[in-house]
Amino acid sequence: MKLLAILFLCSRLLTSFAQEDQPQEVDCNNEDVFKAVDTALKKYNNGSNSGNQFVLYRINQVISTGDQDIFYSVKYEIKEGDCPVQSGKTWQDCDYKEAEQAATGECMATIGKRWNMEFSVTTQTCHITPAKGPVVTSQYDCHGCMYTIGTVPADFDPVLRHAIEHFNNHTGHSHLFALEDVERAQRQVVSGWNYEVTYLIQQTNCSKENFTFLTEDCKPLSNGNTSECTDHAYMDPQLRIASFSQKCQILPEEDFLSPSRRGCRGCPSEIPVDSTDMKKALNHSITKLNAENNATFYFKIEIVHRATSQVVAGSRYFIDFTARETTCSKESNKELTENCEINKLGEILRCTADVYERPWENIIESTTKCLSPGKKQLRPCVYKGPPREAGAQPTSESVAS
């Protein structure tokens, strides 16, 4: 039966006096917020092969990171509906199941608005609690269903041990890494078990020169590197890991991380303005700026004033810099090169760049906004990188009924 209406009743109107380029709390009645959550929930439901769809119950937290029109971090609650996932209906067409028979869940999603004004889910994690009553839906006891697990059980230990050994044996880092935290875990029953797990590993004091494997003497270094990994593993009925794949990203060294970042994975943190980690992001920003503006001469980055990085499903950089006109004209030069000298009498642009990178998929996207002294308007310079499939936290409360 079609859900006749969804009414969002916000317990409080969120007001933020933060600057536009800083994370801000957003009113949960915002139409864009609903569209963003709708995109995230549909993506979650489409990822299920059987069982019932989930229906939006409550939006708990909404934060706009950077430009409100581009990036949201959302926490929301869902309840099991009465529409099967293969019914062809959307979650808006479903009613909630009876309370005692309905599974519930809480999801945290990072959602961006792409260049074509469509929303895409960068990251999403949903923790599902099965129904309290005697009836448990097929979504939780069927073969072929992927379960999100809140507390990692013992049968994940062989997978995690194999994952850490694989990382230590197949990377060129000088030291061994040990498990720091499991961020997300999923399990699927097939002829055996499929596992998907995302976790953090920390550099230890044990060098590979002196240690061939982890021992009790290997302790995490407070100023060591941290890596975030996502692994897929298949364990056959004989409890052997028959197939395995791993993707890891070394995060910036802890020397470069603020205390707030160390206690808040995924939060933006300050990095040195000369950090080599953002060199590609800077080059991409100035290349796109020169390609999109109508100036006669190329611009070159003169000063980087401030930079932050954020770990999402990849890396995100927020960079504040000054660009100045060079002596190289677009008419006589095919591109900006190292030989293009800054013209001290040329035009100056004060710019902010928001750059998203996923290096292992060769994806980079950027949005750059520049202000010329004496001009009131910002001239946006937007570039969409290669197409990608989106994968991806934050204070409001609203109820859907």
Contact partners, residue 245, CB within 8 Å, separation at least 6? 231, 232, 233
Tokens read off for 151 = 């507390």
Indicate the average pLDDT of the chain.
75
68 plus 139 within the same structural domain: yes
Residues 52 and 139 in one domain: yes
Residue 277 sits in the same domain as residue 351: yes
What is the 8-class DSSP label of residue 115?
T
Asked whether residue 234 falls in the same domain as residue 279, the answer is no
- Domain identity same for 214 and 168: yes
Single pTM value for the model: 0.34
Amino acid sitting at position 32: D
- Flag the least confident range among 43-52, 72-81, 133-142, 339-348: 133-142
CA distance 183 to 180: 10
**Is the predicted pLDDT of residue 45 greater than 80, yes or no?**
yes
d(CA 397, CA 14): 10
Q: Are residues 325 and 373 in the same domain?
A: yes
Residue with tokens 């869902």: 78
> Under 8 Å CB-to-CB from 113, ≥6 apart: which residues?
32, 36, 69, 70, 71, 119, 120
Which H helix or E strand runs over 163?
A: helix 157-170
Would you state the pLDDT for residue 393?
37
Question: Residues 234-262: pLDDT tens digits?
Answer: 988 888 899 999 999 876 544 334 344 44
Question: ∠ CA(119), CA(263), CA(158), 5° rounding?
Answer: 85
Looking at 143, 174, 205, the residue that finishes a domain is 143
Q: What digits encode the pLDDT tens for the residues 368-388?
A: 888 876 543 333 333 333 333
Helix (H, G, I), strand (E, B) or coil at 295: coil
Domain count, the chain: 3
Whether 398 is in a domain gets the answer no
Same domain, residue pair 273 and 377: yes
Which is more confident, 263 or 92? 92
- The residue-averaged pLDDT of 16-23 equals 45
pLDDT at 65 exceeding the cut of 80? no
Summarize pLDDT for 194-245 with one digit per residue, the tens: 888 888 898 898 999 889 889 888 988 877 788 889 999 998 888 889 999 9
More confident residue, 171 or 29: 171
Q: What is the 3-state secondary structure (H, E, C) of 334-350?
A: CCCCCCCCECCCCCEEE
- Of 143, 175, 203, which residue is a domain's last? 143
pLDDT band, residue 15 (cuts 50/70/90): very low
Predicted pLDDT of residue 61: 81
- Shared-domain flag, residues 283 and 364: yes
* In a domain? residue 262: no
pLDDT of 42 higher than 70: yes
Whose tokens are 């603020």? That residue is: 258
19 occurs within a structural domain: no
* Mean per-residue pLDDT, 150-172: 84
CB of 209 within 8 A of CB of 230? no
In a domain, residue 224? The reply is yes
Residue 193's domain comprises: 154-250
Which of 59-68, 143-152, 166-175 is the most confident on average? 166-175
